[in-house]
Amino acid sequence: MSGDEWSGEEWSADDAEALADADTAAVGDGTADSGHIPVLPAEIIDLLSNVGRRVIVDCTLGLGGHSRMLLEHAPHLQVIGVDRDAANLSLAREQLAAFGDRVRFIHANFAELAGVLNAFGVKRVDGILADLGFSSNQMADPQRGLSFERDGPLDMRLDQQERTTAADLVNTLGEGELSDLLYFQSQERHSRKIAKRICQVRRQGRLNSTVELARLIASAVGESAEGRRGKIHPATRTFMALRMAVNRETESLRSLLQTAPDLLATGGRIVVISFHSVEDRIVKDDFRERARSGVYRLVTRKPLVADDQERTLNRRSRSAKLRCAERLVT
């Protein structure tokens, strides 16, 4: 079932906040100097920086905000920083240069983490951190095509070495495939209407522009692309679904969760910060299943969320949910 027959689980208020904030908040990991504020900083330090931990993998290094915080707080720590965005990895290298050889920088998708660590001769680590957001500099760059409020090409690739762009999906998928993509990736309730309209318009020529697609979506659901009746722009979920599909975000997350137990030393912890219920449910189910089978101990039985002060200072934190599990005897 998809689209207009949608009757599944309602998105939470936090989901709506995350979607509404996507084009305006400082999204992603980074540094205060670059306009980024790492979410849930005290919680990350508490969970990952004790003296028994030596090597932490930051799977979503971004501009280095969480890693900087951990390195400053715990001089004994070493960080392996992984990011699929080569440009941000280069910026993080500059931001974290003062920490010297305490940080290694690796251009890779965290789905490939096992192979990456093996190449460096690392068998076990003491912590794995994954912040599933994306960076505000990525959103602000029109050439990335992530924002429906900035005209640019329909690209959406976080790793420019990837071949498939959002334009490829929009212009080549069948109507049913496109409808299912929008529904299952972001629970877009108007997926059928949007897919039908896209297929009608692309017969007249290829869709390549972010603003063009946003206006098309608004017209398909009977809303204005400028004046918003609801809390979120009508194109938000479609753009989110396309971004997730282009970057294979759900598949990558599942791959990371699958390999993590074999990469964690006894007592090692995996921390995942998600920003909408699709991702959070995947993490919750994985951690609980492994806890039942004796692989993990749940450190957070319920997700940690930002307090009122942080939510006020950092809009992105309003929708953040942090879950942590600890590896039992390996």
Report, as an integer, the average pLDDT of 127-151. 88
Q: Is 40 left (phi over 0), alpha (psi -120 to 50) or beta?
A: left
Mean pLDDT of 113-138: 91
Average pLDDT value for residue range 140-145: 88
The 10 Å CB-count burial string (b at 16+, else e) for 197-229 is bbbebeeeeebbbbbebbbbbbbbeebebeeee
pLDDT band at 4 (very low <50, low <70, confident <90, very high): very low
Mean pLDDT over the full length of the chain: 88
Residue 50 tokens read as 């004790």
Query: What pLDDT is stored for residue 30 in this prediction?
Result: 40
Counting residues of the chain whose pLDDT is more than 90, the rounded percentage is 72
pLDDT tens-digit series, residues 209-234: 999 999 999 999 988 766 555 568 89
Which helix or strand (DSSP H or E) is residue 236 part of?
helix 236-246
Q: Is it the case that residue 114 has pLDDT exceeding 80?
A: yes
